[in-house]
Amino acid sequence: MKNRISVTATAQDIATGAIDSMRRTALAVEHRTDDSTDRNLYFLAEESVFAQDTIRSDRPASFALQNGLQVVVIPDHRIPVVTQMIWYKVGSADEPAGKSGLAHFLEHLMFKGTTKHPSGEFSQTVLRVGGYRNAFTGKDYTSYYQHVPREHLGKMMEFEADCMTGLILKDENVLSERDVVLEELNMRVANDPGARLFEQMMAALYLNHPYGRPVIGWRQEIEKLDREDALAFYKGFYAPNNAILIIAGDVEVSEIRPMVEEIFGGITPQPSIPADRLRPQEPTPGAPRTVTLADPLVEQPALHRCYLAPSAHTADAGDSAALEVLEKLMGSGVNSYLYRALVNDKQLAVSASAGYHATALDPSQFWISVTPKPGVEFGQIERATDEVIADIAHHPASTEDLERVKTRLIAQAIYAQDNHEMLASWYGRGLATGLCIDDIRGWPDGIRAVGAQQVQEAARKWLDKRRSVTGYLIKESAPQHGEKLQ
């Protein structure tokens, strides 16, 4: 590996399908409504808020109401449309013990109507004006959004303000929606071996932290969720002093501020919400762990390894940016180090990739995913992977490699400015996980500052197998006719 060929920006990046499925299920769960379209905001939930940066020539305007509501305005006057997103700083990691899935369950119930607007009125109004709305739940946040022509923004604000205080829940609606969630669990997890492996890996990686619970919840706990659970969670966390309102599109802060003050300003804050979310933290990892999942539905065996790594919020200065660069060097594209070593040079695998999830309030994960060729044993894959990591840790990446990777990351930042929905989403994720606007806008400078020594140190420090869980996804032979299942 000493004679590395430079990493190049390529449109042929390989992202292993199994790990995509796994991370989608565990990191964020989207609510699909009848009026929803496939806007891929759900899929953005698994990415770093920095993977395609949010920097613009002008700093977004921001202000806070007296009741604590944080507001961010991102003007974009190219087309007369607007995206409204409201982010509640509460997710699956904030659920009471024994109530896993409650944040996601409440997200579903938020579409059931309020004292002012019966179920379906909000969605039908959005449809009539040619817009769309949806929502998603993550470990650290729950978000609701609408995309509409600019002249309808005021009405969207009124609906969301009403949702913050006026939710009405009836037992029959709650119980039927719980069945919907259980069916979603069947579809996304029970029938997806990769998703089930991811759940088990997260439970093994996080020994003490609530990130070890799946966002969608454990089945036996979802089955017991009821109206009282949902209302208590709603009243405890859905309040202006626990929310971020982001408006992006054909607007100016001078017109938005009086609208927000008029519509949201009268809502009473919830004094019981703490200023900081303090959760049980992980002990220092002491040993590598392994998880094996065998299932007849597995089409291709796969190896996934997950390391406990700092998030952008918890990392020391420069560490998160170094992990971003390390991820691209190691496993982003057909010319990345992992791909070249395992797929091209040693011909052990059909794909190899890496990923780093930076946007989390607490310690997060760095991923490696490999699909072996038929007949190749996992032990061969692990030894080859460890050799790549050791090489990165002991031999500095070339200046050419580093500059190509950093240029690619920052170039993506420029292209990303064309989509104000993405901008609203990235600012929301960053702000909901402990960052500030300047942290998000300053990301390119952090990437530019990463040097070869920092990448080496990141590999040595964070890609230590004692900090890892390795998951093996294998095909289990279906029992023959008449054979008893054990």
CB 389 within 8 A of CB 324: no
Q: Do residues 318 and 454 lie in contact, with contact meaning Cβ atoms separated by under 8 Å?
A: yes
Two structure tokens written together for 264: 């949201």
The residue count for the chain: 486
Q: Exposed (0-12), middle (13-18) or buried (19+): which is 349, by Cβ within 10 Å?
A: buried
CA trace torsion 267, 121, 119, 429 (10° rounding): -60
Rounded distance between C-alpha atoms, residue 48 and residue 360, angstroms: 9
| Sign of CA pseudo-dihedral 254, 82, 127, 27 | negative
Tokens representing 38?
């496939």
Question: Is the Cβ–Cβ distance between 260 and 294 less than 8 Å?
Answer: no
107 is catalytic: yes
For residue 474, report the phi and psi dihedrals to the nearest 5 degrees.
Answer: -130, 155
Distance, CA of 372 to CA of 412 (rounded, Å): 30
Half-sphere exposure of 35 (CA within 13 A, CB side): 21
Sign of the alpha-carbon dihedral angle for 361, 245, 52, 194: positive
Q: For residue 309, with 0-12 CB atoms within 10 Å meaning exposed, 13-18 middle and 19 or more buried, which class applies? A: buried
Which of the following is catalytic: 46, 95, 107, 327?
Answer: 107
Q: What are phi and psi of 351, to 5 degrees?
A: -160, 155
Cα–Cα dist 221/201, whole Å: 19
For the annotated catalytic residues, the residue numbers are: 107
